[in-house]
A and B are shown apart, each in its own frame.
Chain A
């Protein structure tokens, strides 16, 4: 048990090295090639061709890529800074709701009640006018701004409070769970003005394009792939700057980083904001593809699942998180088709096995397989020395 906890909360040995293992460029090329091929096979081939890719598959792939983006967000904060957020589902859902609000306003008078201004659920609640926070959400640019701002602001306020009071480890993780749970409960309430437990759905089109058409679906899929690639490259670039090095330094020895003059809480807050914004974008791309957003997305279990995707792929590798998310979700699709109730158990088992026996995830396995050990030497000194030396607080407890 203690190994498990140690592996989850910031034991440096469990993390992959910064350079070398994270091969973003080849992965992005692969991702884009697959995206182009799948899109072409959907749009250009006749339905009876054996190479035809169904629109259902395209949407499924798009969904996986959104999850991958979400995993990327968690990896940035957990893998590189050691902050185990169990509330990233909240930022994802908030981004999704911002997009959902725009899509609701796009329905116009085509809803069941035919009200040109108010979404159906508001008419049903016999509201007479749009709440203030729905104003202007029919503007695409404003909605997109909200996709970034709302998760970003929440992360800023939360991070500011938590990191300034130096909350770390398990306590922080519990706080993030509480955050997403609180949002879950409030979004369930009809009075919140987000459609209660039904959420937002029955979307018709986006920027005037029919959401049901193959072209729109493929376009959304391509945009998701491009966005994911862009964010992968950007995150990699950020981690290569001195800022990124400070972030890793905070993960491996926060008080040491303070003693050389870095205000570590500021670094953590801004990284948290960046990560929350990625999650928000992922949510915004997810909603038009799956066609619904409801409070279930805030459920604490969802946030825990994301962490497992990252652990499976390999923390602190960026690409690993993306691969982990895609593989685990593919497994979930297959598994739930056969044994719907068993999935959570399988997931839990996967997490325990990976943290105990595969602390660097699939990426670690891959680099072991390729014999990277020969290139970069691993620690040669006795284990008690290494474990004692990366945490100055340990010795004083």
Chain B
């Protein structure tokens, strides 16, 4: 590119210089797309975990991600949330926020919440404390040192406890909850943060059928106001909540569409559903 072109590019009037952009600005969803994932590549010692992966999530959508073990679902979430650096590709939150430039804490503060595949709650803390820590608040050191719970925050906590059905366990240590309850608590922690985008990795693993149904209800009710991406192996569960399903295979998108379309897609039948009809 010639110097003139470079100068023109830099001086373009329809763009603000990146360093002048207010990064903490609210997410720009003027094109109805909340999350752009484009051309993502990532290899672990030569093994391609993500292979030119493209994914667009609309604002307010409830999206299911399915795929065989090792398809790269968790790795994708790792890249979006800043846990893992990708080799190439772009991840944008709204139009303007480049997630690849940010670390985990920043991404979380932008309003991206994540539930891990294995429930991870703070075991030495009570249920209440777990929720308190997850509150949307100023998370720098001094404000946290001086923070006290306001009445509103208590109310919010009560509401979340109600939703996740742990009202009676609020003073219990998180470590002493059952596996399913931990899953719920982790979902509750997500809710406390009031996130824009929820990435939920296998929420019903280890839950009873009834618990799974309640989880499905909850996630469905969240969509609309928030955007939810769910990874799940349990096809029953996926069928019960999914509007759009994306199938990952060997690190890239194999198919995308409604549950019926997916089930009738020959590629999908061959590599995924075919294994377990």
Contacts and interface: CB of A to CB of B under 8 A. Distances in A.
Nearest to B138: A261
Interface in A356-390: 376-381, 385-386, 388-390
A91 B117 CA distance: 41
Size band of the A side of the interface? Answer: 35 or more
Interface string A303-347: 000000000000000000000000000000000000000000000
A245 B125 contact: yes
A174 to B, nearest CB: 26
Contact of B105 (A245, A248, A262): A262
Contacts of B108: 258-261
A32 B271 CA distance: 73
Contacts, number: 120
A255 interface: yes
Nearest to B171: A376
B258 interface: no
Contacts of B133: 242, 245-246, 249, 257, 260, 262
A153 B122 CA distance: 31
Interface in B79-108: 81, 83, 103-105, 108
B122 A380 contact: no
A235 to B, nearest CB: 13
Secondary structure of the A contact surface, majority rule? helix
Given A261-B109, A386-B175, A253 B122 contact: yes
A377 B173 CA distance: 8
Contacts of A208: none
Size band of the B side of the interface? Answer: 35 or more
Given A261-B109, A380-B178, A248 B144 contact: no
B141 A378 contact: no
A17 B141 contact: no
A249 B146 CA distance: 17
A230 interface: no
B178 A381 contact: yes
Interface string B136-171: 000111001111000000000000000000000000
**Residue in A248, A259, A385, A390 whose Cβ sees the most chain B Cβ within 10 Å:** A259
A386 B262 CA distance: 37
B81 A252 contact: no
Contact of A263 (B124, B140, B175): B140
Nearest to A263: B105
Contact of A255 (B83, B117, B119, B124): B83
Contact of A380 (B105, B132, B145, B176): B176
B48 interface: no
A390 B120 contact: yes
Contacts of A249: 122, 125, 133
Contacts of A163: none
Nearest to B145: A243
Contacts of B52: none
A180 B129 CA distance: 37
A251 B74 CA distance: 24
10 cross-chain pairs, A with B, having the tightest CB-CB distances, nearest first: A261-B108, A258-B104, A243-B145, A242-B147, A261-B109, A249-B122, A261-B139, A256-B120, A263-B105, A392-B120
25 contacts: A17-B124, A238-B145, A241-B144, A242-B132, A243-B141, A245-B132, A248-B125, A249-B122, A252-B122, A255-B83, A256-B121, A258-B104, A259-B113, A261-B105, A264-B105, A270-B141, A379-B173, A379-B176, A385-B179, A386-B123, A389-B118, A389-B119, A389-B179, A390-B122, A391-B120
Interface of B: 74, 81, 83, 103-105, 108-109, 113-114, 116-125, 129, 132-134, 139-141, 144-147, 172-173, 175-176, 178-179, 182, 189, 193
